[in-house]
Chains A and B, each alone.
Chain A
Amino acid sequence: DADVTQTPRNRITKTGKRIMLECSQTKGHDRMYWYRQDPGLGLRLIYYSFDVKDINKGEISDGYSVSRQAQAKFSLSLESAIPNQTALYFCATSDLGGSGNYNEQFFGPGTRLTVL
């Protein structure tokens, strides 16, 4: 979906470097998420945010940090990249569920990160 964009789409970096991945959305959703995907492991949640300035840890937050300065933007940082952070990173958005149901998530195109 073009409504959720990620930059860069591909990045190669070296161990110890600081990296920032950006996510922007035009869907007007309050909730935003960062997942990483590794072969054979599915997608795992890194961080999520309910609203501006709200930050919550997911399953695998160690080594990562995030920032939500605006409703439309959610950035993921690797303060000191290491090789096992080589993965495909997805940003996703959703809005509040109604009638107690949980709404679908809309994913960006992904960022392929390689840490040498």
Chain B
Amino acid sequence: GQQVMQIPQYQHVQEGEDFTTYCNSSTTLSNIQWYKQRPGGHPVFLIQLVKSGEVKKQKRLTFQFGEAKKNSSLHITATQTTDVGTYFCAEKRDSGGGADGLTFGKGTHLIIQP
């Protein structure tokens, strides 16, 4: 079945350092979504990438979609304590049979030390 591999599982950084999480798939992704879940909270949508090689920015967050559409990354510049949480990538389930819903990566927990 579909698998989206996400690394690393945990990342400890000092406040002000950069952070990157990576998402990889063995198959071509139709699109990729990124979500953030704060501790004790629910996943909140950040962005969707659709095009090969696409790069999108949201303030200190940069999202990339690989040229082959098999990988994606989220980079945070100069982390702040408000960035703490778990970041998930997710892809739409196989559309061949009309399936719906998302397949999530296992997430990267970002821990920030002041």
Identify the closest chain B residue to A38 (Cβ): B106
Q: Is the CB of B43 within 8 A of A90?
A: yes
The answer to whether B48 touches A104 (Cβ under 8 A) is: yes
The verdict on B92 contacting chain A, using a C-beta distance below 8 Å, is: yes
Which residues of the partner chain B approach A50 to less than 8 Å between Cβ atoms?
A: 100
Interface residue? B62 (CB, 8 A): no
**Which A residues lie within 8 Å of B105 (CB)?**
42
Asked whether A105 is an interface residue with its Cβ less than 8 Å from the other chain, the reply is yes
Kindly state whether residue B63 has any CB partner on chain A within 8 Å: no
Contact B9 A40 (CB under 8 A): yes
**Is B102's beta carbon under 8 Å from chain A?**
yes
Range, interface on chain A: 20 to 34
Q: Can you name 13 extra interface pairs (CB under 8 A) apart from A33-B100, A56-B99, A107-B44?
A: A42-B106, A44-B104, A45-B101, A45-B103, A48-B101, A59-B103, A102-B48, A104-B48, A105-B43, A105-B102, A108-B42, A109-B42, A110-B42
Q: How far is the CB of B22 from chain A (nearest CB, A)?
A: 15
Binary flags per residue of A19-37, CB closer than 8 Å to B gives 1, else 0: 0000000000001010100
A43 at the interface (CB under 8 A from B): yes
Kindly state the separation between the CA atoms of A104 and B41 in the bound complex, as whole angstroms.
17
By a beta-carbon cutoff of 8 Å, the part of chain B in contact with chain A is 1, 6, 9, 30-31, 33, 41-45, 48, 50, 88, 90, 92-93, 99-107
CB distance from A111 to the nearest CB of B (A): 11
**Given known A48-B101, A107-B42, contact A101–B31 (CB-CB < 8 A):** yes
Question: With A31-B100, A102-B48 known to touch, is A42 a contact of B30 (CB < 8 Å)?
Answer: no
A58 in the interface, Cβ–Cβ < 8 Å?
yes
Neighbour of A105 across the interface among B1, B45, B99, CB < 8 A: B45
Known: A42-B107, A101-B50. A48 touches B100 (CB 8 A): yes
Are B104 and A43 within 8 A (Cβ)?
A: yes
Identity of the chain A residue whose Cβ is nearest the Cβ of B105 in the assembled complex: A42
Q: Which 8 A-B pairs have the closest CB atoms?
A: A104-B45, A42-B104, A45-B101, A42-B106, A107-B42, A43-B104, A102-B92, A48-B101
B49 CB → nearest A CB, Å = 10
